[in-house]
Amino acid sequence: MSRFERAVEFVLEHEGGLVNNPNDPGGVTNYGVSLRWAMGQMRAGGDDLHDLLDVDGDGDVDADDIRLMDRSTAIEVYRMAFWKPHGYDQVFHQAVATKVFDTTVNMGHVQSHKGLQRALRAAGQDVNDDGQLGPATRAAIARADAGALLAAMRSEQAGFYRMLIARNAALRKEKVHVPDFSVFQSGWLRRAYS
């Protein structure tokens, strides 16, 4: 079915190297792996990931580990934490598996899978948008025209980003302290339409 090696290269094209943007709630991020996400994995008991994320081997996961992370470690994090748990290798179309994997890395699996399910409905497949990539969703992907589905997925992803930007802009007008996501608009939309 779908291959991780092809999909992860697509993700890494979108996820640059080391960044620490004050508007990114994830904090220091390297190859798309953010400190906030990594610390959440540790709180959730991600024992399998602990050794991988504790790059400097000092027993904790902190900003130093993110800064020291190399490309091969990031790839293994993506395999263990994003690709395998969601069974993206079982998705019929490689391009669809790659797109939903890339979206999951950026916005989390629930929003990514709901967007995929809404896109499936736009492509003529009757599925619920429950955020789960189960047998019914996988079967609908296999039945769908991949080109139509990808176009609808791109639209859903772009709409999600625009909603985030607009919501935070409205909150900022009300003097609520939230990040200014508009600084990410160009990159997010480029990612959505890729």
Q: What is the full per-residue pLDDT of the chain (194 aa) written as tens digits?
A: 799 999 999 999 999 899 999 999 999 999 999 999 999 988 776 667 888 999 999 999 999 999 999 999 999 999 999 999 999 999 999 999 999 999 999 999 999 999 999 999 999 999 999 999 999 999 999 999 999 999 999 999 999 999 999 999 999 999 999 999 999 999 999 999 99
Number of H helices, E strands in the chain: 11, 2
C-alpha count within 13 angstroms, C-beta hemisphere, residue 10 = 23
pTM of the entire structure?
A: 0.93
Set out the domains of the chain in order of their start, with CATH numbers.
Answer: 1-89 (no CATH), 91-194 (1.20.141.10)
**Token reading at 21:** 């943007």
User: What pLDDT is attached to residue 48?
Assistant: 77
**Dist. CA 152–CA 45, nearest whole Å:** 36
Query: Which DSSP category does 81 fall into?
Result: I
User: What pLDDT is attached to residue 43?
Assistant: 77
**Dist. CA 15–CA 156, nearest whole Å:** 20
User: What pLDDT is attached to residue 36?
Assistant: 95
User: What pLDDT is attached to residue 182?
Assistant: 96
| Contacts of 192 by beta carbon, 8 Å cutoff, 6+ apart | 154, 157, 158, 161
